[in-house]
Structure 1
Amino acid sequence: MKKHQQINYIEMPSQDLEKTKAFFNSAFGWTFQDYGPDYCDFHQDGIDGGFYRIDLAMNQEAGSALIVLYSDNLEASEKAVVDAGGEISKPCFDFPGGRRFHFREPCGNEFAIWSES
């Protein structure tokens, strides 16, 4: 449900839309709708969003926002990321409220996945 003045959609860079789509489909089962050669979007149970073609990548250390996904099984999610061609950029660590790891998808965008246990 859309809520007034709440984050509703997020757009992220991709150096190669086909690689990005293949990674997220393989790792997490996301599906995409193409809107021309330079944009695609996804609609999930969480926030919706899209990827646009550009020669940049999100990196938290460079000041980009960090997109964090939730997992019921952190170890299974980590395996899915690696099996789909992602690279673990920060191994699993504890933080107040749970555990998480950071990864880069094949085009270099950094994401994190967290779990309560």
Structure 2
Amino acid sequence: MNALHIDYLELAVTDLPGSRTFYESAFGWSFNDYGGVYAGIVGPDGKDESCGMYASETPVAPLPLIRTTDLEAALAAVETAGGTIAEPPYDYPGGRRFIFTDPSGNRLGVYQPAE
């Protein structure tokens, strides 16, 4: 399996349009819109995203996402190491991912971008 690192962060927000306006005004950020329920924060290069926001009725802790080239190997490694799979692998517009909790209860995700 390839070396893995945290590559993306998701924020749960109770007011997606208001949060976009806040971050646009405060930091000059721009966004990619994904149907009004998700907004990807465009990086300094004007193309890549390193963070996103999704609409949620309840704010929760940010979700760090780890990028991989082999989702199934990462899933097996998490399970073998004692992690708990909170959401099994599923497809999303940018690829495939799963969510897990570490032994301390922290939620993280692992994703494999679409080819």
Question: What TM-score results when the alignment is normalised by the length of structure 2?
Answer: 0.49
More strand by share: 2
Question: What TM-score results when the alignment is normalised by the length of structure 1?
Answer: 0.48
Report the structure number with the largest CA radius of gyration: 2
